[in-house]
Amino acid sequence: MTEKEFIAAIPTAYRGVTFRSRLEAKYAKALDDLKIKWEYETKLFRLGTYRYLPDFWLPELHTFLEVKGPNVPGRHKTKRLAEMLYTSKDPFHSAKAALVVIGEADGTLTGVRESEEMRIARCRECQQYFIYDFTGSWGCRACHAHSGDHHIHGVYKSMPINGRLRRI
């Protein structure tokens, strides 16, 4: 895909949903490939004076995923959402609290805080792929299994938006 195509943000249909960009549709496909359930633009938040509709809600993983192509300005709304959701004492380190993740144009996942390093792994207990913060809790976000790193198999840094998952 050329840079020009990214900038144009071409609406793209996939599984009966019209996504705002090809990149978003690629993320939906990648989530399907990983058998991660997704909802597109279903949770509307009021953040002070403005509204924010994150791209994806992953109900099984309790995770919001905002896809950011180079044509998408500003990450402040995503950051605000995280600030709003990360309110309890140490939600950042709990696999049960909501997680907010940004999907980059190359498929890599980043967090909204500088210390966050997002990873994708598969859980040995429930076989589900999940996204987690490498600098926070490694617990499975689907079944909450957490036994050191024994419940994790395969660790990946980016979503398979252009084909296969690649190990770190």
9, 17, 84, 126: which one binds Zn ion (CB under 5 A): 126
Does 121 bind Zn ion (CB under 5 A)? Our answer is no
What does the DSSP assignment read for 32-95? HHTT---EES---EEETTEEE--SEEETTTTEEEEEE-TT----HHHHHHHHHH--SSSGGG-S
Q: Which stretch binds Zn ion (CB under 5 A): 13-21, 59-67, 80-88, 144-152?
A: 144-152
Closest CB 97 distance from Zn ion, rounded Å: 16
Report the number of secondary-structure helices (H) and strands (E) in the chain.
Answer: 3, 12
Closest CB 50 distance from Zn ion, rounded Å: 36
Does 123 bind Zn ion (CB under 5 A)? Our answer is yes
Closest CB 150 distance from Zn ion, rounded Å: 12
Instruction: Locate 115 and state its tokens.
Output: 């210390």
67, 131, 145, 159: which one binds Zn ion (CB under 5 A): 145
CB neighbour list of residue 164: distance below 8 Å, 6 or more residues apart: none
Chain residues that interact with Zn ion, rule: CB under 5 A: 123, 125-126, 140, 142-143, 145
